[in-house]
Structure 1
Amino acid sequence: MRKRRITALVMALVLGVAAFSGCGKKDADSKYKVYYVNEDQGEILAESFLPSEEKTSTMVDEMTDKLNKKNAEGHTLLPNGVQIRECVNDDGMLLVDFTPEYRELNPVDEVLLRASIVKDYVQIPDIYLVTITVVGEPIVDSQGKEIGAMSLDNFLENTGKEIMAYQYKELNLYFTNEEGNQLVPETRQVYYNGNTPIEKVIVEQLLRGPGESGHYATLPSDTRIVGVSVADGIAYVNLGEQFVDEALPVDAQIPVYSIVNSLIAAGNVSQVQISINGDTSLVFKDEVDMNQLFQVNHELEKGGED
């Protein structure tokens, strides 16, 4: 039942499907929507939202009131006693503050609720961004970093397609030791947009840096990801010039094999090509020829051997 509910929720939220059981053509054609979860049957209902006037402050108040209440059929978006405490509009950025029960949501339900809240409020004229807090405290991601203001773009894949599903995966990421001469493994649980290649997620996580004591970053955190793709067992990672220009003070092979070993550990590829703005002709730190397909290097791993 839980799997069915999550699948239905994702489909309704991100595809904008307005007709599940109980929803007719009138709802499908209405200008504004509010999304509800039928927890008993694991379904999503998209209902018409008809404000008394198309004035931003009025619509925010009426949307909030509607989200906080069950409808006539007992359907609600907000689970487990979660309620919206207040909404404050700051020149197009809407702060939505929740009750403490929000923090009790599991990660899947939390990210889906977050997506739906953004989707609901940015329908309102002159609301462009949504920031979520819980009793005044900013919400954070799985790494403890503040999420901040969100728009619909936060829930879109770079191909322009909306989210189809979130997935969980345990990643084995490789950072470095204090001396910068060995790779150290770090296990990390992540949930991510199922349309995004896991290889891109891995590079993004490496750029976030390590989360364990004694582990150190291998890549400049502001390195731009130009693109990540996979074909025939090879991951093609195209990075911005920051990878070279702002390279960290570690051995030359460490940044390269931090990427390579982390990607290959995921199990989908056996080789990695790294380019800088599409160019593989450079020699990184005057030591590592980038014009090659890299394979896993266990010798660089702490306690490892090839």
Structure 2
Amino acid sequence: MKKAGHLLWAAVLMAGLLLLTACGNRQQEQEGTAYKIYYVNNEETKIVEREYVSGTTDGRLLMEELLEQLTHISEKMDYETLLGKEISVEGHTLDNGLLTLDFGESYHNLKGTREILVRASIVRTLTQIPDVERMAFTVRGEQLTDAAGAAVGVMAADTFIENAGNEINAYEKVDLKLYFANETGDSLVEENRRNVVYNSNISLEKLVVEKLVEGPTTEGAYPTVNPTTKIVSVNVKDGTCYVDLNNDFLSQPYNVASDVTIYSITNSLVELSNVNRVQISVNGESNISYRENISLNNVFERNLDILDPH
């Protein structure tokens, strides 16, 4: 009888171990990193999301996996499929945190609000990948432009925000006059950008500095600011715009004169109605020199003498 009891207990114990092992295996299968996959709702008024867990750690494989998820068809039919036969990704490149997706010609069939929401969904989804900080879109190798013909430019996750549950309310349009270097790097040239769509949660002053860091979009204009420069803060008080940048600003990969860089920032910001002068600092410190010949202790005002006369 005792032997039978021992056998019964052993069987119960073995069954329990098997059950725990099975549960552990199921839990292990579910382990991984949770990502949000973004889609456009059927009314095309906002972005919706669903969670997706991936065990992939390789950045390239993860990107392919998340792109595949954007082709997902909703069983409840409560959101639109973003990628597939209508919109296809023809290629991609990843360079220094910038992921560029090249789409087929059919991308141009997207119009107005729907195009912005589709773009926001893709950018929000893929910038969750650790190696991807920013994104750019091209169509058959050509830079994506908006309805006014202006370049859309580089985007990040915070380019797109939700506002009262309606994504389109997060956007405003503005015309900007920016100043970049000429071909020889010793003067400034104007670049007029019309109907720039921007996140209404950021200031125009910060938008201007962001666009300067991204660089020009027109022929004959050349970048003035190190593209790895990060914006620490941009604030305006009593007509003075205080621009604080990280250490990367102090290094210059381009053949551009020091004063061209300084007045690229200054002249562009002074084009805004509430800015009369500019003070630049690096990580909060202005008691330093830019490239050893321009003191950042100075407050800079508009300089039209540095414009290219041609």
TM-score range, shorter chain: 0.5 to 0.7
2:218 partner SS: coil
What is the match of residue 178 of structure 2?
173
Q: Superposition pairs for residues 1-306 of structure 1, below 5 Å?
A: 35-38=40-43, 64=71, 66=73, 71=77, 77=80, 83=86, 100-106=105-111, 108-116=113-121, 141-142=144-145, 154-156=156-158, 162-164=161-163, 165-189=170-194, 190-246=196-252, 248-303=254-309
**Deviations along 1:194-244, whole A, 9 cap, x unmatched?**
112222221221122223333222222222222222233322111122222
* Cα shift at 1:139: 8.9
Give the TM-score of the pair, scaled to structure 2.
0.59
Q: Is the 8 A contact 1:183 1:301 kept in 2?
A: yes
Amino acid across the alignment from 1:241:
N
Query: What is the CA–CA distance in structure 2 between the aligned matches of 1:139 and 1:205, rounded to whole Å?
Result: 19
Give the TM-score of the pair, scaled to structure 1.
0.59
Query: What is the CA–CA distance in structure 2 between the aligned matches of 1:248 and 1:274, rounded to whole Å?
Result: 19
Structure 2 gaps of 5+ residues are 1-35, 57-65, 90-100, 164-169
1:222 partner SS: coil
What is the match of residue 22 of structure 1?
none
Amino acid across the alignment from 2:73:
K
Query: What is the CA–CA distance in structure 2 between the aligned matches of 1:144 and 1:34, rounded to whole Å?
Result: 24
Query: What is the CA–CA distance in structure 2 between the aligned matches of 1:277 and 1:45, rounded to whole Å?
Result: 36
2:308 partner SS: coil
Q: Is the 8 A contact 2:38 2:47 kept in 1?
A: no
* Structure 1 pair 116–283 and aligned structure 2 pair: CA distance change class (3 A): closer
**Deviations along 1:65-84, whole A, 9 cap, x unmatched?**
535x994xxx76469x9846
Q: Is the 8 A contact 1:132 1:138 kept in 2?
A: no
Q: Is the 8 A contact 2:161 2:199 kept in 1?
A: no
* Structure 1 pair 227–103 and aligned structure 2 pair: CA distance change class (3 A): same
What is the match of residue 11 of structure 1?
none
* Structure 1 pair 290–83 and aligned structure 2 pair: CA distance change class (3 A): same
* Cα shift at 1:60: 9.3
* Cα shift at 1:175: 1.0
Q: Rg: which structure is higher?
A: 2
Q: Percent identity?
A: 33
Aligned alpha-carbon RMSD (Å): 4.9
Query: What is the CA–CA distance in structure 2 between the aligned matches of 1:122 and 1:251, rounded to whole Å?
Result: 34
2:270 partner SS: helix
Amino acid across the alignment from 2:208:
I
* Cα shift at 1:174: 0.5
* Cα shift at 1:259: 0.1
1:103 partner SS: helix
Query: What is the CA–CA distance in structure 2 between the aligned matches of 1:299 and 1:285, rounded to whole Å?
Result: 21
Structure 1 gaps of 5+ residues are 1-30, 87-95
* Cα shift at 1:99: 7.2
